[in-house]
Amino acid sequence: MTHRPIGVFDSGIGGLSILRALRAELPHEHFVYFADTGHAPYGERGDAYVQARSLAIAQQLALQHHIKALVVACNTATAAAIDLLRATYPNLPIVGVEPALKPAVALTRTGRIAVLATRTTLHSSRFAALHAGLAHQAQFILQPCDGLAEAIEQDDTTKIIAAAAVFTRAVGPFGTKTGEIDTLVLGCTHYPLVHEVWAAQVGPQVHIVETGEPVARQTARLLAAADALAPADATGQLKLLGTGPAGHLQAAAARWIPAIATTTIAS
């Protein structure tokens, strides 16, 4: 069990932001990352579609790669499918991601927080429950970012910058004065990959909150509780799988993941 890999999946390259945090927290672990680029974007699909894809990917990772844990590195897939995945694989530790509203509440001083996410995530019952539980602690301005994850997938810098400007203007103003937004939640795993774009839009006085580190810590806790952590002398390796061009995924991993022994497999 200790030598088995951890499975990680997303609709595309966005989950690399989560994988980056996982690698930092668990440097001795083996990972299998699945980018479902051929069926993206999840954020503009219905729940049934996302559930079907999530089950298919989980089955492949479980049966072919014998994973010891699964990280759903996609806000949309977490919202739509994580309960179904846990019911289907009750003995497999499964960790999802959700917009980091709780950390944002702890950081804000003006009490106004912007949440950028896909439309599917913002309209999900899981997010609604999270939001309702914290709505009395801060004012959350919710902004769907249609098309942004796809622009990041395509590495279209011009489109990314233009879209980020539109979305931040839609929820502003940003700042530290009363009535201004002082905390920005990146509620899609794609968005942290262009952190510098958001920082340029909102300025250094605004907190930008991501989800990678909490997800990595939770994964480590579950593996430790199951006595399934890799040995301290193991050398972590990464396999890249996906339904899109292998070269695209490999280039993205080389850009955003620290140096690691990597095997790329198109599937």
Residues catalogued as catalytic: 74, 188
Q: Which residues are CB-neighbours of 64 under 8 A, at least 6 positions away?
A: none
Terminus-to-terminus CA distance in the chain, angstroms?
A: 24
Query: CA 17, CA 150: separation in Å to the nearest integer?
Result: 15
Length of the chain: 267
User: Please, where are the H alpha helices in the chain?
Assistant: 16-25, 47-65, 75-88, 101-107, 119-122, 125-134, 148-153, 157-171, 195-202, 212-225, 246-256
Sequential DSSP letters for 28-95: T--EEEEE-GGG--GGGS-HHHHHHHHHHHHHHHHHHH--SEEEE--HHHHHHHHHHHHHH-TTS-EE
3-state secondary structure of 194: helix
Q: Measuring CA to CA, which residue among 25, 32, 26 is closest to residue 62?
A: 32
